[in-house]
């Protein structure tokens, strides 16, 4: 009602249905990158790196920043 006065006529344009493949692909890419980052953060090379966020979670009660 108020938005119609501001923006004009309501157009019956589909948005979600044509964009669904992009939403799904974005979710798959997000999951893949997150899984890869978690895997790489737990490798031997980066297990004891101070920049590793998983190390901060494990040693949360050890002090300051």
C-alpha–C-alpha distance, residues 22 and 25, integer Å: 5
Q: What is the DSSP string of 10-58?
A: ------HHHHHHHHHHHHHHHHHHHHHHHHHHTSTTTTT-TT-HHHHHH
pTM, entire model = 0.61
Question: Which residue, among 53, 56, 60, 57, has the nearest Cα to 37 in the 3D structure?
Answer: 53
Tokens 């044509």, located at residue: 18
Question: Tens of pLDDT along the chain (65 residues)?
Answer: 677 777 777 778 888 899 999 999 999 999 999 999 889 888 888 888 888 877 766 555 555 55
């Amino acid at each position: 009602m108020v938005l119609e006065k501001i923006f004009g006529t309501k157009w019956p344009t589909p948005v979600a249905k044509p964009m669904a493949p992009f939403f799904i692909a974005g979710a798959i890419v997000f999951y893949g990158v997150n899984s890869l980052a978690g895997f790489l953060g737990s490798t031997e090379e980066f297990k004891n790196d101070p920049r590793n966020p998983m190390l901060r979670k494990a040693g949360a009660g050890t002090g300051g920043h």
